[in-house]
Structure 1
């Protein structure tokens, strides 16, 4: 699928005046009356681009491209706390009225790194660039058009927010993008959009979030935590708009979330697999973490039809029957008879009968092969994992955030820093779905994951989907067979899903 862009008109000025990054909270006024948060509908660049959809059809799209200098009154760093808005006005020569269209709110965060759209010159041209290199997810291998571009070609409004990330450090050595900066920024961006109802085109009551990897975790968190008061003090400090941050629907691809339990989940899932070097991870550590996962899983009180309560004893069977076999079945059914026969001959662990695939959990693990991460996968003993940096604070670049890793290094009496538990809650969607069930959460969910993705445990997305279903939410979950981290094998279906759940008719 190809993508070509038309000649871009030089960008006009920002939709709101530039804000000094050093402005103090003492100088802030009520967000609802701060003129810097008023979107200017007349300040845009008109661009033309050619977007090839997933059927191979090229569409000429004329759109208005807006750059907003900052979505908060008191930005810490406006390079990251800014957003862009793209509004289609003509598709294939036909005038488009996007005033009632759903709004795709697409973050480009990867690795909990900073993501900036400040220098973007058109839709999908941002990218999570910050100190330390690229932080945004790579484009889907099977799609030249980005998720944002496909949504624009469908007539939707697209908002692309930037956000602070874990590697940002000021001249004094203070880290200012660690937890919970990224989710606070995204919430502030949603508030900006809703505050400007009637000025920003599109239906602000039909905002659909999207993100991949850490961005998928943040998208999940945004959907789960809508209007939660636990973020209020952070939002007030930034001068966020006086509006709701609840969103209508959530799209999450391979979310790297539930970090305080991720080491346990990883060993339960991938503990038997070798590293790519062929070496075995420390089995004492792996088994200890895997064993502890059972207690956490029990605390979630997840249930599934045909399985009852999900436990460490039946979770593997649940994953196989609910997600993995349907994934393999869909993949194999789409092959030609000859290609299917070739694949099955090379993967004899799969039984193909009556048009359905069947296999065991143990055989599936063997099929996946090498695990990506050593143990512990997320709270590394030497604090070298990206997530250790995510929970840094002040001039401390990285910290332990689990008792297991902390006490392994510092002894049985060691205690986590006092702010860590609250920050873990701020960063985990499960807190808002289990510990404090949030009624203002998204009620529509699109969750995707590759079956060969060992960046985290397959149970993370599985538990999220199970809990949402238990709460009665509309959940569309699919695991992509043999796909790795960041895969998006049905981007066109996601765009169609947005129209379906939002009730939008162009």
Structure 2
């Protein structure tokens, strides 16, 4: 969408009404009146004016001490989509009291930070599995937090004096009041950007700094965090933002432009399910050789080895090298990253993490000894057949890692996802709507296949997806943008698409974690994201680790993450 224009502002400038300028001039903050541009706003922006007096007072307990909190509940777009009263999330039926709960954010401000317009805004998204996310918060009256805990990120944020924004977004599986599927891609990214734009619009009169937005999410929320943080200020999103009345969008038709920015300061992403358009081929490339009946479930009663899963896995795995090699990613020494050396990079990351743990005094099992791995509340004792150490005690080092045996080890405590892992609906005998397939396609159909193999092999006639229903090959369907926007959907939620171009203002600071026994997406996809970040000139620093024996989860290393964030903020003053 090259015909859109984007107007960049001075990072501290804000287009607001004259009334807001007067309010800003009378407040005690570090943003001078000269930094506020007194320009008339359009009707939608006027509707999105922040009301500092419209809050609820709460008291929470942090580390044994009561703290006063001001909490605001805000619909962050001017034209929110009314949702059906009954919805589904994680397979459970929920009843909505508020039909606009998906485009609402709850902002919690410690009383000590009410006048602090330089503190960070901790922007938390909750889209595990890329599911829809009605806004919610654990910051309630009487709630208790322990800021020193390694699992209490909200307590740590409040203790640090950050503004906490819990953000609801549309995403897969929701229906609007008029019956259409309202959460199709790029809805969650668009809604997140709209919430950021609300914070930008009102930056001069709200606590916290919109120049210090830190996006946090896990799993699908980590993928959303990555997509939002990689695509700052891209004009690709303007028509979608305009449709919901997001702040700062002007013009109409093919003449849309923006008066506000939606880039962010930092991303804290755990196990990000990212790059969905290529996630299946990456998953099969990673795990095809170790799949078996013992670690891959049956589909519709047909065991892995007895059905079409092995052939489907092999065919998809064969597609990944071409994709990866065409990205032209570079290692630190400038040599190309290819399918021939990607697992060497995995070994390097594993070695670094294991030796960090050993140096810290953790007893890491040597070859033939036993790992204790906890997955979903159950602890498994697994023999180490993949890792050889040299030496003993805290000075021991990694001598050898057998990658294939390591991958089998990962799959031995929890089964691999069945084939197909992400674009599962209407494939390999799968009888249900599952995976992320219902994030894509027309809003008149429940789902749409989103990669080449699944499109070609769609098994359900009449679902609006695949060669069987459209008569078009994958390439021809993607090219037919007059009848569908599937190509745009895939690109607009993919951080790699923006890290590989110069068309976006990427967040400069990244903290990315993916657990050592996490099989929910491939290590290959996380390494691809990591090196795409490292290769992007706008990214100033990226902290990436594969934490020791950690399963699919997030916010488990809060002290380390917040120490990183504190240092990053201190090193980048406003």
Matches within 5 A, 1:133-282: 146-242=152-248, 243-271=260-288, 272-274=290-292, 275-277=295-297, 280=304, 282=309
- The alpha carbon displacement at 1:118 in A equals 6.0
- Of 414, 417, 428 in structure 1, the residue corresponding to residue 494 of structure 2 is 428
CA distance in 2, matches of 1:61, 1:505: 27
Tell me if structure 1 keeps the 8 A contact 2:425–2:437. Answer: no
Q: Is 1:86 paired with 2:108?
A: yes
Partner of 1:18: none
- 1:217, distance to aligned residue in structure 2 (A): 0.7
- Match in the other structure for 2:422: 378
Q: How does 1:456-475 map to 2 (within 5 A)?
A: 456-472=521-537, 473=539, 474-475=541-542
The CA distance in 1 between the partners of 2:297 and 2:489, in whole Å, is 35
| C-alpha distance in structure 1 between counterparts of 2:386 and 2:174, whole Å | 47
Is contact 1:61–1:153 with CA below 8 Å preserved after alignment?
no
Give aligned pairs, total.
451
Structure 2 residue ranges without an equivalent (≥5): 1-39, 83-99, 249-259, 372-381, 428-432, 459-466, 479-483
Verify the 8 A CA contact 2:366 2:388 in the aligned structure 1.
no
Structure 2 residue matching 1:211: 3-state secondary structure: strand
Moved more, 388-397 or 329-338: 329-338
Does residue 404 in structure 1 map to residue 415 in structure 2?
A: no
Residue of structure 2 in register with 1:438 after alignment: 503
Q: Is the 8 A contact 2:354 2:364 kept in 1?
A: no
Structure 1 residue aligned with 2:563, among 484, 492, 496?
Answer: 496
Correspondence for 2:408 among 366, 373, 386:
366
The residue correspondences of 1:280-319 to structure 2 (distance < 5 A) are 280=304, 282-305=309-332, 308-319=335-346
Moved more, 181-190 or 100-109: 100-109
Give the Cα–Cα distance (whole angstroms) in 1 for the partners of residues 409 and 130 of structure 2. Answer: 30
Rg comparison, structure with higher value: 2
Say if 2:80 is the partner of 1:75: yes
**Displacement after TM superposition at 1:439 (Å):** 4.6
Contact (CA 8 Å) 1:106, 1:148: kept in 2 or not? Answer: no
Distance 1:294 1:59, change over 3 A: farther
Between the aligned partners of 1:119 and 1:350, the Cα distance in structure 2 is: 42
How far off its partner does 1:106 sit?
0.8
1:107 and 1:336, CA in 2 relative to 1: closer, same or farther beyond 3 A?
Answer: closer
Which residue among 123, 132, 142 is the counterpart of 1:114? 132
Unmatched 5+ stretches in structure 1:
1-28, 53-57, 126-138
Residues 389/369 of structure 1: CA separation in 2 closer, same or farther (3 Å cut)? same
User: How many angstroms apart in 2 are the aligned matches of 1:99 and 1:200?
Assistant: 7
Preserved CA contact (<8 Å) 2:44 2:245: no
Question: Is residue 268–residue 290 contact of structure 1 (8 Å, CA) maintained in 2?
Answer: yes
Q: 2:353 maps to which residue?
A: 327
3-state DSSP of counterpart to 2:68: strand
**Displacement after TM superposition at 1:381 (Å):** 5.6
How far apart, CA to CA, are the structure 2 residues paired with 1:351 and 1:124? 50
For the Cα contact (< 8 Å) 1:67–1:118, is it kept in 2?
no
Contact 2:59 2:141 in 1 (8 A): no
Kindly report the root-mean-square deviation, in angstroms, between the aligned alpha carbons of the 2 structures: 3.0
Alpha-carbon distance, 1:427 to partner: 1.1
Give 1:119-134 correspondences, 5 Å limit. Answer: 122=140
Partners in 2 of 1:83 and 1:338 — Cα distance? 43
| TM superposition score normalised by structure 1 | 0.82
Shift in Å at residue 119 of structure 1? 8.1
Cα distance change on mapping 1:124 and 1:196 into 2, 3 Å: farther
Q: Look up the SS of the partner of 1:67 in the other structure.
A: strand
Check whether the contact 1:65–1:86 (CA below 8 A) recurs between aligned residues.
yes
Of 364-373 and 472-481, more deviation after overlay is shown by: 364-373
TM-score normalised by the chain length of structure 2: 0.72
Indicate if the aligned counterparts of 2:389 and 2:396 stay in contact, CA closer than 8 A: yes
Aligned residue for 2:318, secondary structure, equals helix
